[in-house]
Amino acid sequence: MSDPEAGGPDPSWRRFSAPAETGIAILCVLIALGHIYVAFDPVISEFARNAYHFAGFAFLAAVLKPAIAPMGPSPFWRAVDVVFGLATAAAAVHLVAAENAIYARGVKLQGLDWAAIAICLLAAVELTRRLTGAIIPVLILLSLSYVLVWGRWIGGVFHFPGLSLETVAFRSVYGDDAMFGSIARISSTYVFLFILFGAFLIRSGAGDFVINLARAVAGRMVGGPGIVAVIASGLTGTISGSAIANTASTGVITIPLMKRAGFAPKFAGGVEAAASTGGQLMPPIMGAGAFVMASFTQIPYEKIVAVAALPALLYFLSVAFFIRVEARRLALPPMAADGQTLGSAFRQGGASFVIPICLLIGLLVSGFTPTYAAVFGILSVVASSWLTRTPMGPKAVWEALVSGTRGMVMTAVLLCSVGLVVNVITTAGVGNTFSLMISDWAGGSILVAIILIGLASLVLGMGLPVTAAYIVLATLSAPALAGMISDRFVIDAIANGTLPETAKPILMLANPEAMMQLAQGMTRTEAAALVHALPLEIAAPLRDMVVPPEVALTGLLSAHMIVFWLSQDSNVTPPVALAAFTAAAIAKAPAMGTGFASWKLAKGLYIVPVLFAYTPLLSGDWGEALRVTIPAVFGLYALAGFLQGGLERPIGWPVRLLAGALGLACLWPLGVLWHALAAAGVVALTLLSARGGLRPPSPAPGHGAP
C-alpha cells in the first residue's frame, strides 16, 4: 500500500531505466542541498524560495506519478508528463522573475504572467488529483469559482460580491496565504528539513534501534508485544511523520509478535494502527502539524512541542492500557526473553538515534529556530552513525537525500496547493462565517462544538491527508472554538463578580438590562446564557478586555490542538481508517474489523482533546498540567477496562459500568478531592479484580474478541 502522507513510491508510481533513475536521483539531491543551503543563507526572498520549492516538487510529481496508471509505460505519455513538469517549473520560476514588474505596473498582468499563473493553477489541480485523489482538486475549483462567479448568486451569510479574474489570479499566487504564501513557507522550511532528518535517521539504522529498544523495555511485560508496538510507534513517529508509513515500517515486526503471543489478528492490527497514529502527536516533530500550528497561532514552536508532551504520553498510555487489559482478560503469559537488552540495543545503534534527537531538542530549547535545529540534526545523524555498526558514508548520505526528497513530493505539492483554498477562505471571510455557525449550532457548549468538529474532521479525512484536513478545519473552526474556551473565563468573571468596570458598558450595548442583572448577582448558568447570546462584535472586544493574554493564548493553542488531534481520526476510524487498513493487510485480518478495533483502541484521540478544552493541561504551568495528568492516567485505565471488559481479570457489566463512571470522574474537572476519591476507587476495583473478586457470572469471551 502507498503512503499518502510521505508520498513514498507504490506500484502506481513510475519505474525508470537506470540512467533515468540516476537523473532523478541527482535532481532530488540538488533539491535537498538547495533547501539546506537556503536554510543557512537565505540568499533569495521567501516568495522565491516557496515558488522554487513548488517548481522542483511539481516536476518530480509530474514525472513520477502518471496521470493514469496504465499510461505509465508509454513513452509518449512519459514525454507528455516531462513537458508538463517542465512547463510547471518554468511557470513558477517566471512568476518569481516577474514579481517586481507586476507591482511596478500597478498589479497588472501581461500575457506571460497570465500563462504562468494558469499553468501553476492547472498543475495544483492536476497533481493533487494524481497524488491524493479528487477531493482537493474539487475544493480548489469550488473555492476559486466561488470568489469569481457563484458567490454572488447565493444569499445569506455566504453571499460574496465577487472579484475580477485578474484580482483572483494575482492573489492566488502572490497573496500572503496563497499558493506560494505562508503554508508553502512551512513546507519549504520546517517540513522538508524534518522529513530529510527522518530519512537520515532511517538510513542510519535508527529504526532498527527503536524496535530493539522497545523489545528490551517491554518485551517481557504482560501484553509485551503490544507494548513494544506502542513504544516503537511513538519513537518511530519522531522519524517518519506519517501514521501509514509508521504502521508499515514497525507493523511488519510488531503485528506478527502480537499474533504469536495470542492476540487476535484484528486486535494486533488495531494496536499497531492506533499506536502509529499516536506517533503524529509525539514531540518534537508531530508530523507537519506543529509547524503549521506555530504559523497559524504565532505561538513559538518550542512552546507547542513542550506542552504537547504530556498529552502524547496520555494517548500512548491509553493504548497500552487496552493492551494490558486484553492480555489479562485472555490470560496471555509474557513472552520469553529473546536476548535483547537495553545495553545491546544501545550498542547496536543507539548513538545514531539518541544523539541527534537530544541535540535537536537541546537546540530547540535553547531558542534556535526549527530550521537551524533540523540542519544540525541531519549533520549529527551522519556523525553519530560512526559510533554504531552502520556508519553513513557518501553513498548512504546520497541515498538519504534522495529518499527524503522523494518522500516529500506529495506533501510539498499538497501544502502549496491547499494554500489556494485557505486564501479564498481568508479573502471571502468564510472562516469567520463558519466559526459563527459552529458557535450557533453548539449553543455555547464546548463539548458539542468538539463533537461537531470531530464529525467534520472525519468527513474531510475521507478525502484529505491529515495535514490538509487540519489546515482546512483549523482555518474554519479554530477561531470559534478558541473564543468559546476564552468565554469560560468571562462567564466566571461575571458569576464571581470580578468583571472589570470598564467591561460593563460593552455588555450594556448588547443587553441594556445587563447592569441590573450584574448588580443583583448572577449564577454561572445565567452568566453563560448572557455571554452566549452576545453577538460577535460585542463578544470579541469583551474577551479582549476581560481575558488575560496568557489565558487567551492557552485558549487559542487548545483550540488548534483539539483540531489537530481530531484531524488524525481518519487513520483509525471506519470507513476510512487508512492506517488500520495498512495494518490489516499485514495482520491478514478483515479490513473493517481491524478498523473498528483501531477506533476502539484510539479512544484517547477523542478523550484527551476534551481535557484541552476544560483543563489547564496546555497552559505551560507544569504543576497544573500534572494535576490534570495524574488522575487522567487512572481515568484512562478505568475506561479501557470498561470498554474492553476487564481489569486484571475479566469483569461483568455492573463492575464495567462502575469502572466507566470512575474513569469519567477522574477525567472531568471536579477538583483535587473528587479526583483523589475516584482514583482510589479505580485502584480498589483493580485490586479486587486481581484477587478474583469481580469475576463475571458467565465465561469470558474467547480470543477472537476485538
Half-sphere exposure of 556 (CA within 13 A, CB side): 20
Per-residue pLDDT tens over the stretch 551-596: 999 999 999 999 999 999 888 988 778 889 889 989 999 988 999 9
Q: Which three cell numbers stand for residue 154?
A: 447565493
Residues of the chain with pLDDT under 50: 1-9, 72, 699-706
Question: How many residues are present in the chain?
Answer: 706
> Quick check: is 116 in a domain?
yes
**Has residue 433 been placed in a domain?**
yes
Domain that holds residue 420: 415-606
Q: Is residue 689 part of a domain?
A: no
Residue 4: the pLDDT is 38
Separation CA 183–CA 511 (nearest Å): 41
In sequence order, what are the beta bridge partners of 650?
646
Query: Which of 575, 606, 637 is the last residue in one of the domains?
Result: 606
Q: How many CA atoms lie within 13 A of 49 on its CB side?
A: 25
Domain count, the chain: 2
Calculate the alpha carbon distances from 476 to 112, 305, 425, 481, 671 in Å. 35, 23, 8, 10, 33
Among 313, 448, 459, 294, CA closest to 371: 294
Q: Is residue 352 part of a domain?
A: no
Buried b (16+ CB within 10 A) or exposed e, 525-554: eebbebbbebeeebbeebbeebbeeebbbb
Of 141, 158, 175, which residue constitutes the final position of a domain?
Answer: 158
DSSP 3-state of 8: strand
Per the domain annotation, does 91 fall within a domain? yes
Per-residue pLDDT, 582:
87
C-beta of residue 694 within 8 angstroms of C-beta of residue 685: yes
Q: Is residue 121 part of a domain?
A: yes
Query: Positive or negative, the Cα torsion across 353, 236, 310, 195?
Result: positive
| Residue 339 domain flag | no
Confidence (pLDDT) at 697: 53
Q: Contact, 213 vs 345, CB < 8 A?
A: yes
Question: Which pLDDT belongs to residue 240?
Answer: 64
Q: Domain ends where: 158, 184, 205?
A: 158
Indicate whether 693 belongs to any domain. no
Taking alpha carbons only, the member of 411, 430, 198 closest to residue 289 is 411
Amino acid 194: pLDDT:
86
CA angle 657, 663, 669 (to 5 degrees): 135
For residues 511 and 539, the answer to whether their CB atoms sit within 8 Å is no
